[in-house]
Amino acid sequence: MENDMDKLEPVLRELLDDRDFLESLVNIIRHMKGAGIVDLVNNISTDYLPTDIEFLGKFFSSKEFVYGSLKTAISLVSVLYAFSDEKTSDLFKAIMYNLPSATEEIITSSKQTGRMSVRKLLSRMKDPEIGAGMEIAFTLLKFIGSASKKVEEK
């Protein structure tokens, strides 16, 4: 026990000597408490600890979690970069805000049975929105094909 105190003494001395650091740490904790983060962590620890502590420790320190978190963060950076372009952001918002009505139409049309004849397909292609959608689809397919070639194989 005394050996443990000997190890802690320099740490405690360093903390007590650096008043600015301690004040900053206390302010951070106050802000976290004000934002509800301290209560959240406390509730999580009450609900999951000590029975699931081993699982949580293994999960959060697992290679899969760490790599997955890093890859997610890197992917989010690319999404943020893409949304920094005004046209990309506007296109995404237009699609997302109109998605509920499109979803209904997709579900309805998927339940319609019957074969698509060549004549029906050609008549649908006269619709300017269908033509624009097909051009977009071909452009996206070309882009995906081109981008896929840039991914390194392992």
What secondary structure does DSSP assign to 95-147, as a single string? Answer: HHHHHHHHHHHHHHHHH--S---HHHHHHHTTSHHHHHHHHHHHHHHHHHHHH
The one-letter amino acid code at 101 reads: S
CA 84 from chain centre, in angstroms, equals 17
Three-class SS state of 36: coil
Full-model pTM: 0.46
Name residues whose C-beta falls within 8 Å of residue 21's C-beta, 6 or more positions apart in sequence: 15
In a domain, 67, yes or no: no
pLDDT, residue 154, reads 67
The Cα–Cα gap between 85 and 72 comes to 21
The Cα–Cα gap between 101 and 16 comes to 62
Report the length, in residues, of the chain. 154
In a domain, 76, yes or no: no
Structural domain span for residue 12: 2-61
In a domain, 144, yes or no: yes
The Cα–Cα gap between 145 and 151 comes to 11
In a domain, 99, yes or no: no
- How many C-beta atoms surround the C-beta of residue 130 within 10 A? 13
In a domain, 6, yes or no: yes
Instruction: Return per-residue pLDDT of the chain as tens, 154 residues.
Output: 567 667 778 877 777 787 788 888 888 999 999 998 888 888 877 776 666 667 777 777 888 888 898 999 999 999 999 999 999 999 999 999 999 988 988 898 888 867 888 998 889 889 999 999 999 999 999 999 998 888 887 6
pLDDT, residue 2, reads 64
39 close to 33: Cβ distance less than 8 angstroms: yes
pLDDT, residue 44, reads 79
In a domain, 132, yes or no: yes
How many domains would you assign to the chain?
A: 2
